[in-house]
Amino acid sequence: MLGAIARTVHRHVEVDDVRVFYRESVPDRADAPVLLLLHGFPSGSHQFRRLIDALGSHYRLIAPDYPGFGHTRTPDGFVYTFDRLADITEGFVRSLGLDRFVMYVFDFGAPVGFRIAERHPEWIAGLVVQNGNAYEEGLSDTARGLVGLTPHTPGAQDAIRDVLSLAGTRGQYETGVPDTDLLAPDGWTLDQHFLDLPGRKDAQQSLIFDYRTNVERYDDWQAWLRRHTPPALVLWGTGDPFFTEPGAHAYLRDLPDAELHLFDTGHFALETHLPDIAPLIADFLDRTWKRATE
């Protein structure tokens, strides 16, 4: 079932003067289940290329780049906050006419996705959570240190610039991965290319300073999970330097029927464990979409 390589289109759509780039697979049936792929930091929709290749012939996979990421272009004066990323992503969803989908949230995709879910619970047929944190216990000391930075913290800008360097980007991929030969260097190289574009490091700095607003909303997102009880598949790289394994188990507190799968890898679990993860997502989509359309 997973042997066919998907045909993928690459397009732009205008949302509030933001030129949003996205990738979309062309499945072999018009009524294929829809999976919205929300990427993480410091990456973009390109992080899902192999997953789209693996699953896109049978499912409609859609992966946008947020403002400040990938090929998306923003106007001068755009304010980079997680609320604004969610605004643009919500507008993107509307522009494609989507009204029901399974949502894949990874890293920054969790705060973007949960904001959208709060606004439009009727859109969410299910959740695939891959190292997308929504619990205090899932924050590592490294993550807490970054979350605690403000523009007035001594040395904050230097600390952030270290994270945004090539060494920092590569470290996000390699930390917690037992066999780094499984990691293609294309991932961190392409991420760094986009980070080094004019204005991108300033955008990322603004988002890091704004990350505290996500932690402040964890209680609200957990309450949303309990209230709406979406079907959920939780996939987690246990060596993640930012979001630790307890953050994965915490989802079961609010979604006791969620499926949890742990992998001996780092933050970018798809880079090393796609052959394990893709079939899990396919099975979850089949079962979840059938329930959603009955």
d(CA 113, CA 85): 10
What Rg do the C-alpha atoms of the chain give, in angstroms?
Answer: 18
Choose the catalytic residue: 46, 58, 267, 273.
Answer: 267
Q: Are 263 and 289 in contact (CB under 8 A)?
A: no
- β-pair type (101-106, 34-38): parallel
Burial 242-268 (b: 16+ CB within 10 A, else e): bbbbebbbbbeebbeebbeeebebbbb
267 is catalytic: yes
Question: What are the structure tokens assigned to 105, written together?
Answer: 């949230």
* Catalytic residue ranges: 267
